[in-house]
Every structure is written in C-alpha cells, then in structure tokens.
Structure 1
Amino acid sequence: MTIEHAVAEADARIRREPELAHTEHLVVEHGGRAVAAYAYGRRAVDEPGDIFSVTKSVLSTLVGCAVSDGRLELDATVGELLAPMVPEGARRTTVRHLLTMTGGTDPSGDWDIDAVMRLSAGWTRTLLTAPRLAPPGTRFRYDNGASHVLAACLARVLDEDLEEYAGRRLFGPLGIARAHWPRDPAGLPYGFGHLRLSALDLVALGRLWSTGGIAADGRRLFDAAYAAEATRPHTAGGPPESAGYGYLWWVTEMAGHTAFFAGGYAGQHVVVVPDLGLVTVTTGAEAALRPGRRPALCVIPGIVAAASAHA
C-alpha cells in the first residue's frame, strides 16, 4: 500500500468513525513532501488553535535553543536559577528533572494546574511549595506545574522576554507568524499548555525535530546531541500517553520504527518518525469531545507502515 492510500484510509476512518468525530485536522508530510492536509471542521490548517500540552514540546525546543546559545545548563538547579523564592525541598531539582518530569513533586490538590490557575498571583511560587513524593530523578509523574517552573527557569536566564525569544529563535526561522502564548499573572508564558499554533505550524515543528534541529533554510536551531537526548526514553513514562518519556516528548515505536511525539488534550498529536522522514499532525476540537472518544493518533501507525514499505 502506498502512503497516499494509507492516508486516504485514515481520512475515511476519521470521517466514518464516531469516536473520531472531534478530529479537526490530519496533516502528513513525508520526505519533505506534503502528502495531505485535511480540515474536518471550520478551522483551516493554517489557523491557530489551542495545542494544549503540545506546548511542553515547544518549551523543550526552546530549552534546546537556550542550551545551544550557552544560556542554560541542564544540570543547573532550580535553587540556583530561581533564588530566593525556592524553598529548601525544591532547591536540588534540576532542569533535566523538570524536562523528564522526574522532579518528584505532588501535582495534585492545591498544586494541580487548574487550582493554581485560579490564583490571582504567585503561580510559580505556589508550584515550588508542592510536597515532595520522591527524590528528584527517581520517578516519572506527569506534572503540568513542573513545566511552568521550567518556563520560569528559562525566562530567568534569558536577556529578553520568553515569547520574544521564541519568536526570534524558533517561530521566525520556522515561518510561524501567528502564535499566541497566554501568560500567568506575573507575565510568564504558560509552560504547560494553551499556546496557540496552527496544524501547519505543528508540521514545521515536527520537521525541525525530524532533522535533529536543522531548519528548512539550513540553520541549526539546537544541537544534535540535545535532539538525541530529548527523544530517547529516560523513563518508561506513564499516563496520560502510556509511552516512554524524553525531554517533554513521548517516545514509542510504530510499525517497527522508533518514533516520538508531542501530545495534548482533546487529540493534539505531532508524530515524528525520523528514519522515514515522516511527520504527522492530528488535532481535535475540545468543544466537540463526546463520551467514547479517542484521539486520531490511532490512525497514524497505518501511515507509518505504508511509509516504511516504500522506504
């Protein structure tokens, strides 16, 4: 089966199966060639929308840029970067721990990101007081708050606003012109979610990672060594995607090929299969979610298998 036939079958499933009815987009690029770009609702493939936790993988990309720029070290501690607001229990957590979600803190209750977002001030300071459930580096636990703390660490070492840095070092080189990044009461862009990008913007992000950090114009945006470390499983991971976990990227296998992906609520997924030069994007509409739904990620393995058969 050709990749075109596999994509056509995936498209038919999305249109036919009620469990996939919330899907907004399916975009496929193979070997640098656009194979398909389907929009199932009113939002066009170039119109920005909420990418939810795919924001975390964008943040990982910016960390890679900052490391390449000599601004940030992965073994720098939160205590060093965010003093004096850091309580004793959080001081030894490193940037690497935050990237791998092995910081060991409790992300529930008063430290759940939804609870923190109801506060009128002090989001980062509150997240730093979360109780510790395990020593740093010993246990994966999906933690939205850790990503916001990571954003605070990154913002602290830059000589410019984090969103401005993103525009200059990442969005601009990728041709992303309509990004919108919400901010907390202190003016810090959310590290955990709700960045608004289009499906085509997400393809550009996936393409960048497929090449190990090299943009379409040949510029290297972050080091190949960082790309390799970010997309290998540092832990076995766990919910919500139940896959291995790298540096704010999930790591898995599809059709016998190593793949990594960014994932977000309501069916947002960017899948990269580097050895096939394959990037797929599926998005979903939160307002269209219904009981029994499942993300359109389930149609991607068939596309990977077809790409592999003709590699």
Structure 2
Amino acid sequence: MNRRALLAFALVSTLAIPAAAQENPATFDTLLDEAESLAPLETVIVSRYGEIVAERGYRGNSVTDPTNIKSASKSIVSALVGIAIDKGVLEGPDQKIAPLLADDLPDDADPRVHDITIGHLLSMQAGLGRTSGGNYGRWVSSRNWVRAALAMPFDDEPGGRMLYSTGSTHLLSAILTRQTGRSTLELARDWLGPLDGFSIGSWERDPQGIYLGGNQMAMTPRSLAAFGELYRNGGETPDGERLVSAEWIETSWRPRTNSRFNGDGYGYGWFLREIAGAKVVYGWGYGGQMLYVVPELDLTVVMTSDEASPSARSGHRNDLHGLLGEIIEAARRAES
C-alpha cells in the first residue's frame, strides 16, 4: 500500500517502519506528562506510522469523550467537498456558487457574488465580509444563515485576501445538502464512515436544518486523530480503501493565501507552517482544538483544549505549536 503523504510538498513515506524508528514510549510520555502544565490543555494524542504511541487526558478529560472541535471541523468539510467533486456531485473548485444557492441570493445581491467559486469558499477568499469574530453572534441570530452570509458586504474582490469566515464553510455545507438532498452529517457518516474510529456526535444546525459548516461539531480526540491519519496516508484507510483522492489532498494542502491571524499559509480548510524545521499542515479550532499532520515524520498529533478560552491572543496556540515542536524533535531522536 502506497503511503503517500504531503503531496503538495512532494514528500513520500515508506510502508515499512525502519527498525531505528521504533519509539521509546517514555520519550513521548515524558513530554505529555510535562504538557499538563498548559492549563487549558485537555487531551493529547501522538500517532506514528498509524499507531498511537502516547496519549493523555488532563483534568478529568479523556481521549474517548466527545469534545467540540470548533473550526477544526473546516478540514472535515473540505474533505466532504473533495469527495463530492470526485463523485461528480460538484464540478470542481472553479464552479460558481450562485446557481447552486439561487434560492437564497438576496434580491439586492452585489453582482460580485456571481464570481465566487467553491474554491474561494474553501480558501476563505470569497471577498464577503466575515461572519466570524465580532460578527458571529449577529450572524447565527439571523433567521437564514445562508442568506445572511451571502448578504454580507464585500470587503475584497473574490479571490482576494483571506477573510476568515465560518459563513464560507457554512455555504459549502448548504451546497452539499442542496446538491445531494442529504444532510451534511449523513454524508460525513456515509463517505467517511468506513474509516475505523471515525464518528461525529452532536452538530449544530441552522434554522433551515443545515448543519453548521465549520463549527460546533462534536468528535472524540481519537476520531479526529483517525481523520488526520486518513490524510497522512494519502486518503486511504489502513485496510487500503480509498475515501479521499490523493489529488484532493494535494490540492487542499497547496498554499493559496495567508492568514491575517499569524501569517501562516492556508489551503482548502488547512493551515500550513513550518515547526521545528518540519513542514506541518493543521486544522485549528477556537480554544486550541488542533489536528497536526507532519508527513515527513509519519506523524499525526491531536490536541484539544478548553473551548471557552481563546487560544490566539492568550498565547496558548503558540504553546501548542511549541509542544508539537518538542514532539517532532523526539520523533527525530528516535530515528537517529
């Protein structure tokens, strides 16, 4: 089985686990013991070559209990869009969204709405004003979240700078629902369900019953790790069943813009940066819900945190990046 990983960076991993790479579990265990000092941190899972080598739950939390993964769910919505394209449900990233959401277009919609593509929504380059941050509460208080997102004033041209907005991924959820006649949750359970360990628990819906694309999704840390492993393994399950095309993973992990939050690259639902000298792709949710994939080291790491505590301005996100850096260095030492 070909264990292709970060195709965007042209990295390929091998099937066999080198003898020199057999981890001393205590190395990772020590790091995870010390990580308990990061007060908002609730769980950590470290997986190499498809096997969990260390995991922890702190302050009464468990890796098997559902948690709100917040915006890390945007990576999952991206996967569903990729699968829909492969199945012919959607044409591709260049497909215009206006015809797909015609019933919800405001009567006085800005003409630029007709230039927005599926790819623009995935990369947060729709140009529409943000429905995240200070606008989030007003947006989810509206009677029609899809229409409200499409009615936001344009802050840039479609394809312009990154404007991080949960409304963009919610529009993708609405598109998937309209094009298939099935809920996004049903699609996720069908299309990703063959992945052992993958499951989605509760998930918030809008007033029209559309599942919230890119937020308020409950998953266990182990389930999130299983999803990360699917991408690390090039879209195949451990049994060799293909769920996501390798081409879609390459497309998703190709940097298209940069985050205004931290300058990191952003693809289709994934952030990209270098940590401890390694190229890393990651999903990030409010509070510090992190899914890291480090293909060159066959490494997948999940970290979940208190969902009520901001992770960016508090510095907690940087602490989590630092912890990942220590895990990366430990993985390298295991191979030396």
Aligned to 2:57: 39
2:145 pairs, out of 118, 123, 135, with: 123
Aligned to 1:50: 68
C-alpha displacement at 1:211, in angstroms?
1.1
2:85 is equivalent to residue 84 of structure 1:
no
2:295 pairs, out of 274, 277, 291, with: 274
C-alpha displacement at 1:111, in angstroms?
8.5
1:22 pairs, out of 32, 35, 40, with: 40
Aligned to 2:326: 302
Aligned-partner residue type, residue 81 of structure 1 = L
Aligned to 1:198: 220
C-alpha displacement at 1:110, in angstroms?
11
Contact 1:10 1:300 in 2 (8 A): no
Runs (4+) of structure 1 exceeding 4 A deviation are 108-111, 287-293
2:179 is equivalent to residue 157 of structure 1:
yes
2:126 is equivalent to residue 103 of structure 1:
yes
Greater alpha carbon shift after TM alignment, 211-220 vs 198-207: 211-220
Aligned to 2:263: 242
2: CA distance, partners of 1:224 / 1:6: 32
Greater alpha carbon shift after TM alignment, 205-214 vs 290-299: 290-299
Identity %: 30
Contact 2:96 2:116 in 1 (8 A): yes
Greater alpha carbon shift after TM alignment, 139-148 vs 47-56: 139-148
Unaligned residue ranges in structure 1 (runs of 5+): none
C-alpha displacement at 1:6, in angstroms?
4.5
C-alpha displacement at 1:251, in angstroms?
0.7
1:142 pairs, out of 156, 159, 164, with: 164
Aligned-partner residue type, residue 170 of structure 1 = L
C-alpha displacement at 1:71, in angstroms?
0.9
What secondary structure, in the 3-state scheme, does the structure 2 residue paired with 1:149 have? helix
Distance 1:174 1:137, change over 3 A: farther
What secondary structure, in the 3-state scheme, does the structure 1 residue paired with 2:103 have? coil
Contact 1:268 1:282 in 2 (8 A): yes
After superposition, what is the alpha-carbon deviation per residue over 1:139-175, rounded to whole angstroms, capped at 9, x for unaligned? 1121111111121122221142221111111134343
After superposition, what is the alpha-carbon deviation per residue over 1:60-88, rounded to whole angstroms, capped at 9, x for unaligned? 11111111111112111111211132233
Aligned to 2:13: none
1:263 pairs, out of 284, 307, 324, with: 284
After superposition, what is the alpha-carbon deviation per residue over 1:195-227, rounded to whole angstroms, capped at 9, x for unaligned? 000000010011011012111221111211110
Aligned-partner residue type, residue 307 of structure 1 = A
Aligned-partner residue type, residue 151 of structure 2 = T
Distance 1:131 1:198, change over 3 A: same
1:59 pairs, out of 61, 77, 80, with: 77
What secondary structure, in the 3-state scheme, does the structure 2 residue paired with 1:248 have? coil
What secondary structure, in the 3-state scheme, does the structure 1 residue paired with 2:121 have? helix
Query: Could you tell me the TM-score, scaled by structure 1's length?
Result: 0.91
Greater alpha carbon shift after TM alignment, 175-184 vs 274-283: 175-184
Distance 1:59 1:173, change over 3 A: same
1:252 pairs, out of 273, 282, 289, with: 273
Greater alpha carbon shift after TM alignment, 108-117 vs 137-146: 108-117
Aligned-partner residue type, residue 257 of structure 1 = A
Aligned-partner residue type, residue 191 of structure 1 = G
Contact 1:174 1:205 in 2 (8 A): no
Distance 1:303 1:97, change over 3 A: same
Distance 1:245 1:101, change over 3 A: same
Greater alpha carbon shift after TM alignment, 241-250 vs 7-16: 7-16
2: CA distance, partners of 1:5 / 1:301: 17
Contact 1:49 1:196 in 2 (8 A): yes
C-alpha displacement at 1:237, in angstroms?
2.4
Contact 2:252 2:269 in 1 (8 A): yes
2: CA distance, partners of 1:94 / 1:183: 23
Query: RMSD value over aligned CA atoms?
Result: 2.3
Aligned to 1:228: 250
